[in-house]
Structure 1
Amino acid sequence: MSSISAPAATTGISTDTSRLKSKDNLDKAGKQFEAVFTGMMLKSMRQAKLADPLFDSKAIDTFTDMQDGLVAKAMAEHTPLGIGKAMTDFLSKSQSDINPAATDPSP
């Protein structure tokens, strides 16, 4: 018999929130979220196509997608927009509301 509850087994979504207790994990998740968000923003901007490209090929599209991914990651690490920090702050606040002893340093 499995110890996994029925909703988690059918949806594949874990209900384990113990990883939220670590500030490092929250910060890492915030940076990753920021990179994904920035990447989606860059992709949307590229799809606007304000002008026809001089050279158009699948290889150039692939290279541009890879380049945008690296730019998004660099932007998230060095000049973040702040959405990752907002998400991190929200998650840490909601975690402390649920478990006040997790953030209380006193014994």
Structure 2
Amino acid sequence: MDAFMDNNPISKIKPNISHQLTSSKLDSIDEKSELSAVAQEFESLFVYQMLKSARKAKLAESLFSNQGSETYQPLLDQEYAKTIAENHSFGIADALVRQFGGKTK
């Protein structure tokens, strides 16, 4: 088994240490903007799942329900979710940024 490990080129690969977050060259502004973008995407996904569950529970039925509207409703819900997240209506993204903002060093 040791002979296999000595000849295996994968075992000779070492992790790239210069890419770790401990580097002093990292720009905290970029990290915070990335964190903000990820938090906003999470909020959008959360709102989309909430809308999807509400539609599945049929909390509100439309007079014009048909197969076409059922096909395009998820796309509309995704757009609603993005808009809600962009406007910080729920505040989930803001809470995530506050929670993890100090840990991007």
Q: What TM-score, normalized by structure 2, do the two folds share?
A: 0.64
Deviation at 1:40, TM superposition (A): 0.6
In the alignment, structure 1 residue 82 sits paired with structure 2 residue 91: yes
**1:44–1:63 distance in 2 versus 1, CA, 3 Å:** same
Moved segments of 4+, more than 2 Å: 16-19, 50-56
Task: Pick one of 95, 99, 102 that aligns with 1:93.
Answer: 102
**Partner-residue secondary structure (3-state), 2:38:** helix
Q: Which has the larger radius of gyration?
A: 2
Q: C-alpha deviations, 1:33-60, integer Å up to 9, x for none?
A: 1111110111011011146655331x32
Report how many residues are paired. 84
- Tell me the distance in 1 between the aligned counterparts of 2:14 and 2:69: 49
CA contact (8 A) 1:30 1:85 kept: yes
What 5-or-longer segments of structure 2 have no aligned partner? 1-9
- Tell me the distance in 1 between the aligned counterparts of 2:83 and 2:94: 16
Deviation at 1:64, TM superposition (A): 0.3
The sequence identity of aligned pairs, in percent, is 28
**1:91–1:49 distance in 2 versus 1, CA, 3 Å:** same
What 5-or-longer segments of structure 1 have no aligned partner? 5-15, 96-101, 103-107
Query: RMSD over aligned Cα, in angstroms?
Result: 2.7
**Partner-residue secondary structure (3-state), 1:49:** coil
Q: What TM-score, normalized by structure 1, do the two folds share?
A: 0.63
CA contact (8 A) 1:29 1:88 kept: no
In the alignment, structure 1 residue 46 sits paired with structure 2 residue 55: yes
In the alignment, structure 1 residue 62 sits paired with structure 2 residue 33: no
